[in-house]
Amino acid sequence: MNIFVGNLSRETAEADLRQAFEAFGQVTRATVIIDKMTNQSKGFGFVEMSSKEEADAAITGMSGKELHGRTLNVSEARPRTENDRSGGGGRSGGGGYGGGGGRSGGGGYGGGRR
């Protein structure tokens, strides 16, 4: 089961995450998300545990705990949706409303509701 770990310090490495969560069971993967532009941590990551029981114990045990001076936000990771994969946030991101500026229809040129 995959676990979201938020509020990570920039100094927290994947090995640190793995070590912290191994107290609750077998960690099959630990990943810190890195910004491609700055090559620094984005402040969150994911830990994959070998079973749901171990993951539940890790979520309970690590939620609110401190790692490298930061209080962790730990929860079950939710699957990404299509909208999450669009990149968003850029000039054409539509302000986080799925692109297109939040308009439905064809902008009044015959492509809207009929």
**Average pLDDT value for residue range 11-38:** 97
Q: How many domains does the chain have?
A: 1
Confirm if 18 and 30 have CB atoms less than 8 A apart: yes
Asked if the structure places residue 91 within a domain, the reply is: no
The more confidently predicted of residues 104 and 16 is: 16
Query: What pLDDT sits at residue 111?
Result: 53
Predicted TM-score (pTM) above 0.75: no
Query: What pLDDT sits at residue 104?
Result: 47
Domain region containing 8: 2-77
Asked if the structure places residue 104 within a domain, the reply is: no
Asked if the structure places residue 41 within a domain, the reply is: yes
Confirm if 3 and 48 have CB atoms less than 8 A apart: yes
Distance CA 52, CA 7 (A): 23
Asked if the structure places residue 20 within a domain, the reply is: yes
What's 51's domain CATH number?
3.30.70.330
Distance CA 3, CA 32 (A): 12
The more confidently predicted of residues 113 and 33 is: 33
